[in-house]
Amino acid sequence: MIGLHTGLANWLVNTLSYAALIGPIYLLHHRFSFSSEAAHRRAMPRYLAVQGMALMLTAGFSYCAHQILGLPAVPASILVVGLTASVNYLVLRHWAFGLPQVDRAVPA
């Protein structure tokens, strides 16, 4: 999208592109990545909360990697993506798309 030279700032094009994909990616995660049986009314707000958390984590990890550790761009990006993706996966798996303990109970 940035290559289309829309006149918008690159960071804004990137942000809008990310935002446009939240819904479709949510549906793909719900159905395929986590094969979740959690109700959308429960999972979607949690997914949105995780996306907000991921943005904050990315900012914090980026600050640490660049400002505190002084890493060059490529290693810093690899570190930030790895850390954020790992935390994101765990929270999505166990909270956003996981079922409550009551729903997991096996009938006698």
- For 40-66, the pLDDT digits (tens) are 999 999 999 999 999 899 889 989 998
Q: What is the pLDDT of residue 12?
A: 80
The domain locations on the chain are 10-100
What is the C-alpha to C-alpha distance for residues 62 and 52, in angstroms, rounded to an integer? 15
Q: What is the pTM of this model?
A: 0.77
| 40 and 30 Cβ atoms separated by less than 8 Å | yes
Amino acid residing at 10? N
Share of the chain above pLDDT 70, in %: 92
Average pLDDT, the chain: 87
CA 56 to chain centroid, in Å, comes to 10
Q: What is the pLDDT of residue 16?
A: 83
